[in-house]
Chain A
Amino acid sequence: MTISRALFLVALGMALGTQALAAPNESQIERGHHVYQKWCYPCHGPGTDKPGTNAMAAQGLKPAVLEERTDLTPAAIKGYVRHGIYFMPTFRKTEISDADLDAIAAYLTRSNKPAATK
């Protein structure tokens, strides 16, 4: 009964539905970058010393560095942060508030083509 990514995304869709998100502005992206540096970069930054990046590389996900992705949706990002995946644990709201998580999502989707940001 291993949690697969596909299963996870199905569950996620049910949990979150499709959310409309106000277009992120510069300061929100900046805030997102800041929160990302603190909570995500130590696992998802570039380099072989980053466990999340290593895991994604082993999985064949390209690019393996999260910040370089342009296919992530805010709903998926939030789902992973609040549900965890493999050895990535959940993050509580005292660690990353909903507003901070919105900002992370804005940051990680900043280079998406408009269609992917739903």
Chain B
Amino acid sequence: MQLPPGVTSKDFSAALEQFANAVGKDWVFSSEADVNLYRDSYTPFWHEEKEPIPSAAVAPDNVEQVQQVVRIASQYKIPLWPISTGKNLGYGGAAPRMSGTVVLDLKRMNRVLEVNEKNHYALVEPGVSYFDLYHYIRERNLKVWIDPPDPGWGSLVGNALERGGGYTPMRDHFDAHCGMEIVMADGEVVRTGMGALPNSQTWQQYKYGFGPYLDGIFSQSNFGIVTKMGFWLYPEPEAYLSGTVSVPLRDDIHKMVEVFAYLANSGIVRGTTSVLKTSSFLQSDRGDTTVGLGGSTKSMEQYAAQKDLGYWSIDLPFYGAANVIAAEWEYAKEKFSVIPGVKFRDGVSYRFPLDPQQLAKIANPVPLGVPSLTTFSIGGPRSQGHIWFSPIIPMTGEAVLQAQDVFEQAYRDMGSPSAAPPGFPIWSFFSRAFVIIYFMPIEHDVEKNRRNREIFRQLIKIAAQHGWGEYRTHTAYMDDIMNAYSFNNHALLRLDETLKDALDPNGILAPGKSGVWPKRMRKANA
């Protein structure tokens, strides 16, 4: 049996027994078969010693049990890795950063505590998935939307704490939260925002409460265990429509992104979209094996023109009152018309609510607030999983061109064109900046995974040299990325460590999360 570092097997057995007293023996998992279920199904360390393997898992059903577990762990200095639904595939799954950590599985805490359709919010426990909340709302015919990320089986809490993104106007999930309840490393329960006021009437309606606003320090962090979280919901809109803008020349990207940024920052385009290099799909159309990796600009522009497609294109999603969004699309066209040769195409439009037959015909319902698992086709039928490389770049045409050149060159230099997918996906999951989301395949092949890990580390460095940093990462790269956020001799990490030592002196919560290690493990992991 794997043991937490520095914990004797006698102490570990005693702790497991006490965990069982707290949560019931059915909810403490320590057999190899059960613990294996907590390994990352998409680990970049398949068949290597380096793969982090938990020592056990414990699954409390309520806040009091979480407190008890934390106090027991604190007594024996046993590290705990909290997960909400544990579906963080591509970024680590349910597995901890460090071998021997006990996974604190909050999946059983799956109560929807409130959905309010007059003020449009929900209060949920960590184990509530997007599917769960969606069904809860549909069964009661409430006029609110959730905002799922592509995979609907994750949790509002886990996804928001990771600062994940979706597609509707509530797409920035951490930003859309309002109020938390947290169990601290000493077992104390804290509520943030208006939740600190006993009998508060506005916990999910006003974010800040009074005094320092602390919610941010519990995201991508190991300072506490979130046991409840409020979320603002989108009132069911009257309608949706989309339109496509395409431009003929490579250099049109500058004006195209400038107009897009104006529309997005003005609140006219409120949903997630992506800038597509339409022309790179054309390359694959020609059977070119260097898909997405260049070819002369002129020839691609000519080919795109022949095919009556743009060099670049962008789909604009509009949500709201039918006549308002029609006007917004017209206004967007007017703004983009400064680009010579720009073309517009009307896309789909819907009126809500959709009936089940209409919904069944929509291949990807996620941008309409309906959870799905369709996204898992992304790597093709033989995919064994993948991880994401996701740097944030400026919302400018210049940055798009530079990032494209830099990353494609890097992939070429490292001899791995296959890792760079066609289409160079540039997303607007968050306001004001773009995020590039590259797909890095995982295989049951030690050599290939080693090579891809090297490439990944290289990409982090190259991004940092250009002033771009990742918004989130797989557990395998947390130290690398934190290391890149190094302004003033790693002042941010040093501040994180100061907080860590103050809030979790025994160092039991998620050691290594985001590159933040407790004092007693800091040297070994430096």
Chain A residues with CB under 8 Å of chain B are: 1-3, 38-39, 42-43, 48-52, 54-55, 57-59, 82, 84, 86-87, 89-95
CB-based contact A49/B41 at 8 Å: no
Contact A92 B94 (CB under 8 A): yes
Q: Are A93's CB and B34's CB within 8 A?
A: yes
**Is B445 touching A2 in the complex (CB atoms < 8 A)?**
yes
Q: Can you name 30 A-B pairs with beta carbons within 8 Å?
A: A1-B47, A38-B131, A42-B152, A42-B372, A42-B373, A43-B376, A49-B363, A49-B377, A50-B374, A55-B377, A55-B381, A58-B381, A58-B382, A59-B381, A82-B36, A84-B41, A87-B42, A87-B376, A87-B379, A87-B384, A87-B385, A89-B42, A89-B385, A90-B36, A90-B37, A90-B39, A92-B37, A94-B105, A94-B107, A95-B107
Report how far A38 CA is from B27 CA in the complex, Å: 22
Contact A49 to B374, CB < 8 A, known contacts A38-B131, A86-B384:
yes
Give A87 to B157 CA distance when docked, in angstroms: 24
Q: How far is the CB of B100 from chain A (nearest CB, A)?
A: 19
Size class of B's contact patch? 35 or more
A51 contacts B376, CB within 8 Å?
A: yes
Bound-state Cα–Cα, A91 to B38, Å: 9
Chain B residue contacts of A52, Cβ below 8 A: 376
Q: Are B373 and A2 in contact (CB under 8 A)?
A: no
A1-B445, A48-B363, A51-B376 known; A94-B108 Cβ under 8 A: yes
- Taken together as a complex, chains A and B put the C-alpha atoms of A54 and B39 apart, in Å, by 26
Q: Is the Cβ of A91 less than 8 Å from the Cβ of B37?
A: yes
Whether, in the assembled complex, B443 has its beta carbon less than 8 Å from a beta carbon of chain A, the answer is yes
Interface residues of B in 132-156 (CB under 8 A from A): 152-153
Q: Assess whether B383 is interfacial by the CB under 8 Å rule.
A: yes
Is B33 interfacial (CB 8 A cutoff)?
yes
Q: Are A82 and B381 in contact (CB under 8 A)?
A: no
- For the complex, give the distance between the alpha carbons of A45 and B141 in Å: 25
* Nearest CB in chain A to that of B109: its residue: A94
Question: Nearest CB to that of A84 among chain B residues?
Answer: B41
C-alpha gap A97/B443 in the complex (Å): 28
From residue B375, how far is it (CB to closest CB) to chain A in Å?
8
Task: Give complex CA distance A57, B377 in Å.
Answer: 12
Q: Write the nearest CB–CB distance from B58 to chain A, whole angstroms.
A: 10
Q: Check B446 against A1 for contact (C-beta < 8 Å).
A: yes
Minimum CB–CB distance for A108 against chain B, Å: 18
Residues of B within 8 A of A1 (CB): 47, 444-446
A2 adjacent to B443 (CB under 8 Å): yes
The answer on a CB contact under 8 Å between B93 and A89 is yes
Give the shortest distance, in Å, between A83 (CB) and chain B (any CB). Answer: 8
Q: Are B376 and A82 in contact (CB under 8 A)?
A: no
Q: Are the C-beta atoms of B41 and A43 separated by less than 8 Å?
A: no
Q: Which residues of B contact A54 (CB under 8 A)?
A: 377, 381
Q: How far is B38's CA from A108's CA once the two chains are assembled, in angstroms? A: 25
Tell me, rounded to whole Å, the shortest Cβ–Cβ distance linking B203 to chain A: 27
Residue B367 lies at the interface, judged by CB distance under 8 Å to chain A: no
- Find the residue from A39, A48, A51, A59 having the highest chain B CB count within 10 A: A51
CB distance from A96 to the nearest CB of B (A): 10
Given contacts A1-B446, A92-B86, 5 further A-B contacts (CB under 8 A): A55-B382, A57-B381, A58-B380, A82-B33, A94-B27
- CB nearest to A95 among chain B residues: B107
Which chain B residues lie closer than 8 Å to A90 at the CB level? 36-37, 39, 41
Does B483 count as interface, using CB distance less than 8 angstroms? no
- Which of B86, B127, B377 gathers the greatest number of chain A CB atoms within 10 Å? B377
Decide if B29 is an interface residue (CB 8 Å cutoff). Answer: yes
- The distance in angstroms between the C-alpha atoms of A62 and B376, with both chains bound, is 21
User: Whole-angstrom distance between the alpha carbons of A57 and B382 in the complex?
Assistant: 11
Q: Is residue B229 contacting chain A, with contact meaning CB distance below 8 A?
A: no
* Chain A residues, Cβ within 8 Å of B36: 82, 90
A95: B residues at CB distance < 8 A: 107
Residues of A near B47 (CB, < 8 A) are 1
Residues of B within 8 A of A58 (CB): 380-382
Q: Which residues of B contact A94 (CB under 8 A)?
A: 27, 59, 105, 107-108, 127
- A86 to chain B: closest CB distance in Å? 6
Going nearest first, the 9 A-B pairs with the smallest beta carbon separation are A89-B41, A58-B381, A51-B376, A42-B373, A55-B381, A94-B107, A51-B377, A92-B37, A87-B383
